[in-house]
């Protein structure tokens, strides 16, 4: 097992990784920007290294600075968390070449599954169901030709995309011209590559993802699915598991398909396969080769510490259990709490004057916020995750309602009121929603005030 792990991230996920390491007897190194000198994970880590100014490009995306920090402190491994460099194959390769273990898949596996076009090809070869789609698009005329072959509506996507960037929908040839141009421009700005492709656009799907763990000995298990359909601008807002839309037979069927595919691909470590689900059918979208923001709800219903498993697998340990050993207990829901105006989603950085997190049975809060902490304006606005576990979905909803009432954050605006509104709606209570539900709700509820 590793003696020391460097955490190449910030915020609640950095604290989450630190906690897992400490419980395993592993020392931690926190890297931080100048703006994060007082962050909780920096205060708790065994060692801390400042790697640059506030801007992410000068700090958390500064590959040489992070590698140098690992070498100077004698870290055995680097955990990238999520976001930043977590799916950057070049960074993973740099880590490997310096004799440090990257806690995640190999750079080669990351390149394969991180390239959306290559990932679709690998998915087909591995037996995963996918939506009709195109190869890389060469021109507007090429895009129009493929759209007519697939059939409108279609969605144009960045090859290296993520987080909803570089994605545009077209319903006809005229809209395709704009969609193709805008998707390429967004892709170039966000990912440096303007290569795009397209897929058939499903009208009312759910977003369902399967969590897997795979070791280097060919052992693969799935930890069930998460329903991530409550989202805005392709950004997830609330996640739950199991999905209200699936039954045990469907869960077992897609779980077996996913595990077999992962074995064929030869993937190792934790990963998530994302699907659109409509009319009883699954359509593979992409694979995330990293820890997911919403991993705690899977931990709640399985009792498996996914971060701990990532570290164990990276150290060369076998899973030590099979699919038959995994049981699913109860229902879990996660709310992403952002420092944003709940109506306009405008970021609201600033000082936390008062902070009181809810507690009680089945309540977990992942956050590094504390009273007196100042939220910097340079990074993602998510400041906490509220994770609820109950014996049934209804019990989880009642507990979530209570926990949101207890949650006190004074000093900045947060999205807590939005979560309270969402979970009080009949469609959400009944589990009758799709990926467009929240945007329609926002339009009707807030914009017509």
Rounded to a whole number of angstroms, the distance between the first and last alpha carbons of the chain is 57
Kindly state whether residues 178 and 69 are assigned to the same domain.
no
153 and 286 share one domain: no
In a domain, 278, yes or no: yes
Check whether residue 440 and residue 332 sit in a common domain: yes
Q: What is the DSSP letter of 99?
A: T
My answer on whether 327 and 401 are in the same domain is yes
182 in any annotated domain: yes
Task: Note whether residue 107 is domain-resident.
Answer: no
Domain boundary among 43, 77, 100: 100
- CA angle (288 as vertex; 332, 63 as ends), nearest 5: 120
Q: What is the DSSP letter of 133?
A: B
Residue 83: CA count within 13 A, CB half-sphere: 16
One domain, residues 138 and 173: yes
Looking at residue 331, what DSSP letter applies? Answer: E
Rounded distance between C-alpha atoms, residue 38 and residue 63, angstroms? 22
pTM: 0.90
Are 216 and 331 in the same domain? Answer: yes
Domain housing 195: 132-200
Q: Bin 132: left if φ > 0, else alpha if -120 < ψ < 50, else beta.
A: beta
Is 212 within the bounds of a domain? yes
230 and 193 share a domain? no
- Residue 349, domain CATH: 3.30.470.20
d(CA 23, CA 98): 27
Total domain count, the chain:
3
For residue 63, give the CATH number of its domain: 3.40.50.20
The reply to whether 411 and 348 lie within a common domain is: yes
Position 111 in a domain: no
Domain boundary, last residue among 152, 183, 200: 200
Q: Does 119 reside within a domain?
A: no
Residue 290 near residue 333 (C-beta atoms within 8 A): no
Q: How far apart are CA 321 and CA 300, in angstroms?
A: 18
Contact assessment for residue 292 and residue 274, using Cβ atoms and an 8 Å cutoff: no
| Residue 134, pLDDT score | 93
32, 148: one domain = no
The C-alpha atoms of residue 66 and residue 7 are separated, in whole angstroms, by 9
DSSP, collapsed to helix, strand or coil, labels residue 392 as: coil
Assigned token pair, 233: 């601008």
| Per-residue pLDDT, 117 | 82
8 Å CB contact between 297 and 230: no
CATH of the domain at 137: 3.30.1490.20
Do residues 250 and 212 both lie within one domain?
A: yes
Q: What is the pLDDT of residues 336-356, one digit of tens each?
A: 999 999 989 999 999 999 999
Mean per-residue pLDDT of the chain: 95
* Shared domain check, 285 and 162: no
What is the set of active-site residues?
Answer: 290
Quick check: is 157 in a domain?
Answer: yes
Q: What is the full per-residue pLDDT of the chain (449 aa) written as tens digits?
A: 999 999 999 999 999 999 999 999 999 999 999 999 999 999 999 999 999 999 999 999 999 999 999 999 999 999 999 999 999 999 999 999 999 999 999 999 999 998 878 888 899 999 999 988 999 999 999 999 999 999 999 999 998 876 677 899 999 999 999 999 999 999 998 888 899 999 999 989 999 999 999 999 999 999 999 999 999 988 999 999 999 999 999 999 999 999 999 999 999 999 999 999 999 999 998 899 999 999 999 999 999 999 999 999 999 999 999 999 999 999 999 999 999 999 899 999 999 999 999 999 999 999 999 999 999 999 999 999 999 999 999 999 999 999 999 999 999 999 999 999 999 999 999 999 999 999 999 988 765 55
For residue 127, being part of any structural domain is answered with no
- Are 170 and 289 in a shared domain? no
Q: How many CA atoms lie within 13 A of 449 on its CB side?
A: 7
CA distance 28 to 75: 8
């Amino acid at each position: 097992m590793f003696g020391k792990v460097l955490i190449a991230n910030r915020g609640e996920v950095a604290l989450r990784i630190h906690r897992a390491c400490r419980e395993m007897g592993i020392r931690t190194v926190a890297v931080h920007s100048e703006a994060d000198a007082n962050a909780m994970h920096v205060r708790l880590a065994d060692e801390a290294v400042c790697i640059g100014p506030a801007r992410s490009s000068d700090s958390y995306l500064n590959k040489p600075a992070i590698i140098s920090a690992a070498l100077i402190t004698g870290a055995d491994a680097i955990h990238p968390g999520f976001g930043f460099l977590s799916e950057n194959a070049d960074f993973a390769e740099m880590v490997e070449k310096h004799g440090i273990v990257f806690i995640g898949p190999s750079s080669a596996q990351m390149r394969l599954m991180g390239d959306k076009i290559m990932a679709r090809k690998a998915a087909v070869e591995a037996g995963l169901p996918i939506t009709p789609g195109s190869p890389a698009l060469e021109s507007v005329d090429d895009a129009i030709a493929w759209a007519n072959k697939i059939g409108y509506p279609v969605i144009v996507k960045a090859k290296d995309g993520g987080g909803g960037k570089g994605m545009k929908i077209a319903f006809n040839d005229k809209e395709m011209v704009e969609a193709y141009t805008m998707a390429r421009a967004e892709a170039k700005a966000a990912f440096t590559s303007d290569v795009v492709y397209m897929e058939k656009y499903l009208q009312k799907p759910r977003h369902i993802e399967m969590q897997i763990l795979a070791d280097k000995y060919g052992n693969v298990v799935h930890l069930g699915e998460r329903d991530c359909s409550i989202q805005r601008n392709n950004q997830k807002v609330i996640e739950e598991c199991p999905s209200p839309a699936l039954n045990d037979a469907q869960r077992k069927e897609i779980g077996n398909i996913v595990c077999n595919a992962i074995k064929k691909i030869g993937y190792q470590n934790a990963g998530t396969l994302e699907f659109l689900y409509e009319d009883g059918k699954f359509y593979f979208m992409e694979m995330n080769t990293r820890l997911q923001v919403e991993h705690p709800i899977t931990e709640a219903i399985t009792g498996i510490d996914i971060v701990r498993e990532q570290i164990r697998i990276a150290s060369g340990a076998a899973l030590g259990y099979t699919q038959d050993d995994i049981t699913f207990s109860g229902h879990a829901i996660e709310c992403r709490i952002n420092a944003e105006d709940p109506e306009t989603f405008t970021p609201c950085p600033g000082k936390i004057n008062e902070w009181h997190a809810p507690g009680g049975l089945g309540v977990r809060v992942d956050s590094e916020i504390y009273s007196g902490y100042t939220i910097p304006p340079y990074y993602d606005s998510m400041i906490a995750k509220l994770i609820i576990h109950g014996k049934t979905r209804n019990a989880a909803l009642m507990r979530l309602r209570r926990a949101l009432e207890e949650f006190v954050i004074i000093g900045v605006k947060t999205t807590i009121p939005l979560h309270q509104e969402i979970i009080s709606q009949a469609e959400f209570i009944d589990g009758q929603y799709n990926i467009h539900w929240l945007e329609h709700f926002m339009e009707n509820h807030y914009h017509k005030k």
